[in-house]
Amino acid sequence: MTVESRALHAPPNAAALIESLRALGYHLPDAIADLVDNCVAAGARSVSVEYNTDPGTGWVAVVDDGRGMSEEQLHRAMHLGVDGPLAPRLQGDLGRFGLGMKTASFSQARRLTVLTRTAAGTTAGRTWDLAFVAQRGDWYVLDGVDDETLRISKQLGLAGPGTMVLWRDLDRCGYRRQLTDGMARVRDHLAAVFGRFLRDGRLRLKVGGQRVRGWDPFLTAHPATQDLGSALVEGGLSTAGITPYVLPHPSRLTNGENLAAAGTLGWSSHQGFYVYRNDRLLTLGGWLGLAGLRRSPQCQLARIAVEVTSDDDHDWQVDIRKARVSPPPALRDRLREIAVLTRTRSEQVFRRRGTSLVPSRRKDGGGLTFVWQQHSRRGQVAYRINRDHPVIAAALATQATAAVEVALRFVEEALPVGLIAAEVSAAPDRAAHAPLDGIGNDEVTALFRAAVAALPHDSHSRRTVIAALRSIEPFNRFPEVLDNALGVEGATGAH
């Protein structure tokens, strides 16, 4: 006996489904980034994220100067899932599921209003009010906007074409200090996610009136950054552009460069793959779950840029929040090979501690280069102060040679190598910075002149040693300061 099947209508409960969608895992920075995606897709060149922290009446607004939407376009955009992941998208469209603006907004607030204007002067507004949806028990969106929305739009300068997305009833992102702290995280997150757009001028972003500067996780402008070369990785029907980088050792960086490279999570957490989709960053490091790859202090300089497009979303399993991906199986082995190579290069930099400790003769015969020398003692690594360093040699040439030698040996034997290694391993972002970093020019000048004063007085030796001092640690980073110091010395006849 054959039972004929029937098609039964089974619509979801509106209030229950929306409450479930609120638990997709958005954090405030993810949610704001999703709104900025829409701004970019609308052709915006300038986006502002503004907010009011007053309890009960506070709000968050994202305002752009894009094309705006007609009333029909806005009504369509307020539907959930209007353009799903299988819908074709224009090049550069940062959308994915047709849910972003709504789910991102619902994750933080119970009231979402969109006010939009086109170049033709048409204005349209719609509001999702979750209390109203629960009351009606169905998918009802409110037409128009209230006086408070108009007041905020005028306050934020939405006068020409563009769109304002307004959140109220902030039951998740909160008010006062909670919202202020959250917006600080938003600022850092947007600097990373839209770093390429911000650095090349395609986009201007402000959060709370403060301009957001694009973050470059690869320190591409630093001369000591190693660019290992770009390649197109292919497997099956999947392709991706790959560029591995090895960053300079922290000791080669100034304090400002070190903080910038460390990012918001610290050096160790930011090692790994940076997957860009249409130039929009999806992952801020991590090893994509590839076999045998774990975070390691010695691998913290390894960062790998991966380029994909929205056509690759299915293969890379991009999630709704655009914050997590999984590489296609056909690419995983090749990605792992590149990761192992990059990690090995990072480990090599750490073994050198960012700068060679083995003495090397200068071509001009000016002496040895570094203050510290590395050597092996009873099968273990030890460090000695270079007795041929001009300043050290001058100190040993005094009548107190024996006392100076005792002091040097005491420093060498008491150097807490094990403690330093443990500290760097536990907190790599606190590793030592470049020599004399953070020291004022006056103090550098005084230190240099004190070193010069201890040098031999015959002019030939003096010139040779001063030339050496200018090119070695710790003075080689301050050529202008040293020129001024030598000018003063020449004028005063000081030694």
The mean pLDDT value for 248-252 works out to 88
pTM here is 0.72
Sign for the pseudo-dihedral over CA of 31, 35, 40, 44: negative
For 82-129, give the secondary structure using H, E and C: CCCCCCCCCCCCCCCCCCHHHHHHHCCCCEEEEEEECCCCCEEEEEEE
Distance CA 123, CA 117 (A): 5
Range of weakest confidence among 41-50, 60-69, 372-381:
372-381
B/e letters for 393-419, b = 16+ CB within 10 Å, e = fewer, are bbbbeeeeeeebeeebeeeeeeeeeee
Q: Could you read off the pLDDT of 70-89 as tens digits, one per residue?
A: 999 999 999 987 664 445 54
DSSP 8-state class, residue 312: G
> Between β-strands 302-308 and 142-143, what pairing exists: parallel, antiparallel or unpaired?
unpaired
pLDDT at residue 400 greater than cutoff 90: no
Of 254-268, 341-355, 385-399, where does mean pLDDT reach its minimum? 385-399
For the record, the structure tokens of 408 come out as: 């040097």
Half-sphere exposure of 388 (CA within 13 A, CB side): 13
Could you tell me what percentage of the chain is helix, strand and coil, using 3-state DSSP and rounding each to the nearest 5? 40, 15, 45
The tokens for 109 are 């607030």
Share of residues in the chain with pLDDT > 70 (%): 77
Kindly report, residue by residue over 79-134, the tens digit of the pLDDT.
987 664 445 545 554 444 457 799 999 999 999 999 999 999 999 999 999 999 99
Higher-confidence residue: 10 or 457?
A: 10
Question: Does residue 21 carry a pLDDT above 50?
Answer: yes
Residue 207, pLDDT score: 98
More confidently predicted of 474 and 223: 223
Q: Between 233 and 401, where is the model more confident?
A: 233
Q: What is the pLDDT of residue 364?
A: 41
Of 122, 123, 82, nearest to 102 (Cα)? 82
What's the pLDDT score for residue 438? 62
Residue ranges per structural domain of the chain: 14-211, 226-351, 372-492
CA 495, CA 482: separation in Å to the nearest integer?
Answer: 14
Environment class of residue 386 by beta-carbon count within 10 Å: exposed (0-12), middle (13-18) or buried (19+)? buried
Q: Name the band, by pLDDT with cuts 50, 70 and 90, for residue 378.
A: low
Give how far Cα 180 sits from Cα of 60, 68, 186, 187, Å: 11, 29, 10, 11
Task: Please report how many Cα atoms fall inside a 13 Å half-sphere around the Cα of residue 177, on the Cβ side.
Answer: 0
The CATH architecture one would assign to domain 14-211 is: 2-Layer Sandwich (3.30)
Residues 6+ away with beta carbon under 8 Å from 389: 367, 368, 370, 371, 472
Q: Is the peptide bond before 474 cis (omega within 30 degrees of 0)?
A: yes
Q: Is the pLDDT of residue 363 over 60?
A: no
Q: Which of 244-248, 380-384, 488-492 has the lowest mean pLDDT?
A: 488-492
Q: What is the DSSP letter of 428?
A: G
Q: Which residues of 14-28 are buried (b: 16+ CB within 10 A; e: fewer)?
A: bbeebeebbebebbb
Report in angstroms the alpha-carbon separations of 424 from 299, 312, 353, 472: 12, 39, 11, 25
303-360: per-residue pLDDT in tens?
999 999 988 888 999 988 888 899 999 999 999 999 999 999 999 888 765 444 444 4
pLDDT given for residue 436 in this prediction: 62
